């Protein structure tokens, strides 16, 4: 089973590029981020005509996540548990059954910038960085619950986390950024420490692997990228991992997203 994650940075802007990539690569399941569309306006027929079941968790102009699946989507849930007041559309999950069932969670983790800190270095309450870290703690709790269910599970999407220095072309430029601050990386590691496998690093080592290039300052032409789109696999899912790749070439096409697809192949 080929499962992909892709931050498309607006479904309207990628109305041609996304179907083109789907037709070429034929993933079985795709989790999308930043659809930037309410549910009613999402062009679901475009994907249903290609054989995909479509579930969305949308929001006008911002955020928004979706799952496309050639297999039925069961027990669909929207919104990350832990804060009923959180109205941002950043989480969707469903069960997909191939040779066996797998719980697929798609996420768009908060960016967290600008980083606002108190004089003693703590995130300012109510600020974007505090929201990011609180969201990551909720993610850790959901991850813990997924493990307790003891079925294959994965959490995939735009994590807005640069886990290690080698995941950035110029790591020094990111040291004070919410994507690479020590608190952010530590929160990511706390989730990993529960027993998850980061799929890409299970198959590829070393620098030079990126999934995002900014539109500004010629980042793509200079390959000044960062790797922030990740698959975290439960132990049961990690046992099924056959491959994980980044479709880097998509970034060089007409009207690209600033992210590219990342995918795993699982023995499902």
Active site residue 108: yes
Give the per-residue pLDDT at 228.
Answer: 99
pLDDT of 265 strictly over 90: yes
Half-sphere exposure in the Cβ direction for 67 (13 Å, CA): 29
pLDDT of 86 strictly over 90: yes
User: Does the annotation flag 249 for ligand binding?
Assistant: no
- pLDDT per residue as tens digits for the range 40-81: 999 999 999 999 999 999 999 999 999 999 999 999 999 999
Active site residue 229: no
User: Does the annotation flag 176 for ligand binding?
Assistant: no
Give the per-residue pLDDT at 37.
Answer: 98
Cα separation of 251 and 37, whole Å? Answer: 22
Beta carbons of 163 and 197 less than 8 angstroms apart = no
Cα separation of 50 and 192, whole Å? Answer: 35
Cα separation of 158 and 259, whole Å? Answer: 9
Using CB atoms within 10 A of its CB, is residue 227 exposed (0-12), middle (13-18) or buried (19+)? buried
Q: Which CATH architecture has domain 2-266?
A: 4-Layer Sandwich (3.60)
Beta pairing class for 29-33 and 241-246: unpaired
Query: Which run of H or of E encompasses 235?
Result: helix 235-238
Which one from 52, 108, 129, 210 is the annotated catalytic residue? 108
User: Does the annotation flag 258 for ligand binding?
Assistant: yes
* Average confidence score pLDDT of the chain: 97
Rounded mean pLDDT of 77-98? 97
Give the per-residue pLDDT at 121.
Answer: 87
Domain edges within the chain? 2-266
- pLDDT per residue as tens digits for the range 99-115: 899 999 999 999 999 99
The CA–CA distances, whole Å, from 16 to 29, 102, 164, 257, 263 equal 19, 30, 34, 12, 20
Residue position matching structure tokens 């952010």? 184
Which one from 158, 177, 229, 265 is the annotated catalytic residue? 158
pLDDT of 242 strictly over 90: yes
Active site residue 159: no
User: Does the annotation flag 145 for ligand binding?
Assistant: no
Give the per-residue pLDDT at 169.
Answer: 98
What is the torsion angle, in degrees rounded to the nearest 10, for the CA atoms of residue 37, residue 39, residue 45 and residue 46? 20
- pLDDT per residue as tens digits for the range 152-208: 999 999 999 999 999 999 999 999 999 999 999 999 999 999 999 999 999 999 999
């Amino acid at each position: 089973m080929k499962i992909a994650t892709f931050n498309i940075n607006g479904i309207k802007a990628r109305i041609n590029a996304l179907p083109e990539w789907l037709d070429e690569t034929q993933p079985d399941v795709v989790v999308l981020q930043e659809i930037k569309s309410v549910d009613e306006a999402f062009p679901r027929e475009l994907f249903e005509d290609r054989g995909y079941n479509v579930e969305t968790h949308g929001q006008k102009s911002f955020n928004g996540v979706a799952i496309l699946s050639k297999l039925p989507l069961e027990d669909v849930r929207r919104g990350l548990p832990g804060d009923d007041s959180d109205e941002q559309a950043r989480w969707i999950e469903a069960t997909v059954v191939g040779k066996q069932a797998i719980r697929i969670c798609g996420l768009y983790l908060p960016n967290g910038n600008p980083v606002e800190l108190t004089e003693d270095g703590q995130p300012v309450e109510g600020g974007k960085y505090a929201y990011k870290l609180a969201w990551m703690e909720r993610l850790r709790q959901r991850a813990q619950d997924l493990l307790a269910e003891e079925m294959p599970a994965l959490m995939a999407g735009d994590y807005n986390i640069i886990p290690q220095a080698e995941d950035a072309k110029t790591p020094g430029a990111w040291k004070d950024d919410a994507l690479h601050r020590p608190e952010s990386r530590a929160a990511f590691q706390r989730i990993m420490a529960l027993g998850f496998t980061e799929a890409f690093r299970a198959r590829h080592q070393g620098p030079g692997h990126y999934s995002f290039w900014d539109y500004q300052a010629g980042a793509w032409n200079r390959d000044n990228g960062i790797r922030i789109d990740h698959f975290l696999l439960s132990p049961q899912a990690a046992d099924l991992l056959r491959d994980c790749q980044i479709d880097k070439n998509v970034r060089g096409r007409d009207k690209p997203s600033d992210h590219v697809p990342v995918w795993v192949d699982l023995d499902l």
